[in-house]
Structure 1
Amino acid sequence: MADLTPRTPCAGLLPFRAGDVRLTEVDAGRITSLMPGPEQAAALDAALRDAHGLGWPDPGRAALGEDAAVVWTGMDQGMLMGPAPDATLSAHAALTDQSDAWAVVELSGEAGPAVLARLVPVDLRPLAFPVGAVARTLIGHMHAGVLRTGPATLRLLAFRSMAGTLVQELRGAMEGVAARHGLDGAGSSR
């Protein structure tokens, strides 16, 4: 009989460390696409604040909370990450569960921006890309999202079908940066 045990997108691929940079898979909880209806952005903002304590983010930004985030993903588009959406949100936006569609990883360490400089055409250094900043961009040749969640932490979202390629690209860049800087621990899975 077939084994139908669910697997995460990066199962068996992570964690990985090279130098001072660590790559781990993140359980982002439920991921719900939010698309406000015409003239509904303000009402959705109020409903999000009432239900989840976070408002609708400005373009290129995310509202970050303890157990939830509302992340801008494009014009009149965002994602609620963490909890299931409160039922009141559906009066103001189209809601779509996308939890199984995404691979979510976290790159942590001071050299994280140097690693991503090899793959991402966006300046991700903390002064240019502060906590709460979001970019829809490319990681290598893959469409992806990048979110800064802390001073030395970047969360990366790519399509689940590209999880293996995402990890392979990031591992190669991590090893390259670690080797360039002569750091110990290049290429360890810990």
Structure 2
Amino acid sequence: MAETAISRTAVSWTPRGAWAGIAQAGQIGAAGPAGVTATLLDGFGLATLIAAPGGTAALSGLVESRAGIALPATPKIASGASHDAIWSGPEQWLLRATARDGFAGLLEALSTQAAVSDQSDARAAVRLSGSCVRNVLAKGVMLDLHPSAFAVGDVALTSIAHVGVHLWRLADGPEGSVFEIMVARSMAGSFWSWFAASAAEFGCRVSTGRG
């Protein structure tokens, strides 16, 4: 039997951001001044930390010595110069680094005090601001996000259009409140479909940035 020669070509894999093929910089919906600004965040390091039983204090001390922030004991976000610690449940946190350089070494050090799982390529994140940001979020978030009820630094685990999200409020910007939302990368497309439709009436400027 004659053998058929099969040509094999080397496959080159190119890393893709979480929003690639889903969202891009530009304008959504109404023309003119944008009522909402969406900044697609990329390039950050992210890991889950789960403290060992009775080991929260030791883990928090280690995070503070290595990253300059203490782990919040309540649904809050603690931010430093290059890292954020985001509450995600009793004795559980997300640790986010602005850049991934050196992040693996930090996680290795923290693994002496916690169960650590690198999630850098598993989540998609977006920062939302603008005069109409609450109007958009009110279409899908079943939480009271008024400043009197949801303060700067507050964190919530909730859902938007049946998509589980991690949401928190950052320090106010020139146009008022600023929120960040993180979703599982596999659900980024579903979340963006909801967001783009919800923000269209107010006009939305989409840009890219670092986590």
State the one-letter code of the partner of 2:181: L
Q: Distance in 1 between matches of 2:204 and 2:131?
A: 17
Contact 2:38–2:206 (Cα < 8 Å) also in 1: no
Deviations 1:69-95 (CA, angstroms, capped at 9, x unpaired)? 000011221011016235432221111
Q: Could you say which residue in structure 2 is the equivalent of 1:5? A: 14
Q: Could you say which residue in structure 2 is the equivalent of 1:49? A: 64
Q: Could you say which residue in structure 2 is the equivalent of 1:158? A: 183
Q: Distance in 2 between matches of 1:47 and 1:25?
A: 31
Q: 1:114 aligns with which of 127, 131, 135?
A: 135
Contact 1:115–1:174 (Cα < 8 Å) also in 2: yes
How far is the alpha carbon of 1:189 from its aligned partner?
A: 5.5
Answering whether residue 84 of structure 2 is matched by residue 69 of structure 1, we say yes
How far is the alpha carbon of 1:166 from its aligned partner?
A: 1.1
- Please provide the CA RMSD for this pair: 1.9
Could you say which structure has the higher helix fraction? Answer: 1
Q: Distance in 2 between matches of 1:188 and 1:31?
A: 26
Aligned residues: 182
State the one-letter code of the partner of 2:17: T
Structure 1 residues 15-24 or 40-49, which shifts more?
A: 15-24
Cα–Cα, structure 1 residues 189 and 102, in superposed 2: closer, same or farther, change >3 Å?
A: closer
Contact 2:128–2:180 (Cα < 8 Å) also in 1: yes
* 1:94-113 alignment runs, 5 A limit: 94-113=115-134
Cα–Cα, structure 1 residues 86 and 3, in superposed 2: closer, same or farther, change >3 Å?
A: closer
Cα–Cα, structure 1 residues 156 and 71, in superposed 2: closer, same or farther, change >3 Å?
A: same
Contact 1:146–1:156 (Cα < 8 Å) also in 2: yes
Contact 1:51–1:86 (Cα < 8 Å) also in 2: no
Give aligned-pair identity as a percent: 31
Unaligned runs of 5+ residues in structure 2 are 1-8, 29-33
Deviations 1:136-187 (CA, angstroms, capped at 9, x unpaired)? 00011101100112222111000101111111111111124x1xxxxxxx36
Cα–Cα, structure 1 residues 65 and 188, in superposed 2: closer, same or farther, change >3 Å?
A: closer
Cα–Cα, structure 1 residues 110 and 127, in superposed 2: closer, same or farther, change >3 Å?
A: farther
How far is the alpha carbon of 1:46 from its aligned partner?
A: 0.7
Higher relative contact order structure (alpha carbons within 8 Å, sequence separation ≥ 6):
2
How far is the alpha carbon of 1:9 from its aligned partner?
A: 1.3
SS of aligned partner of 1:165: helix
Answering whether residue 151 of structure 2 is matched by residue 130 of structure 1, we say yes
State the one-letter code of the partner of 2:195: L
- The TM-score, its normalising length taken from structure 2, stands at 0.79
Structure 1 residues 101-110 or 87-96, which shifts more?
A: 87-96
How far is the alpha carbon of 1:6 from its aligned partner?
A: 1.3
SS of aligned partner of 1:130: coil
Cα–Cα, structure 1 residues 137 and 67, in superposed 2: closer, same or farther, change >3 Å?
A: same
Q: 2:25 aligns with which of 15, 20, 29?
A: 15
Q: Could you say which residue in structure 2 is the equivalent of 1:183? A: none
Answering whether residue 163 of structure 2 is matched by residue 142 of structure 1, we say yes
Unaligned runs of 5+ residues in structure 1 are 179-185
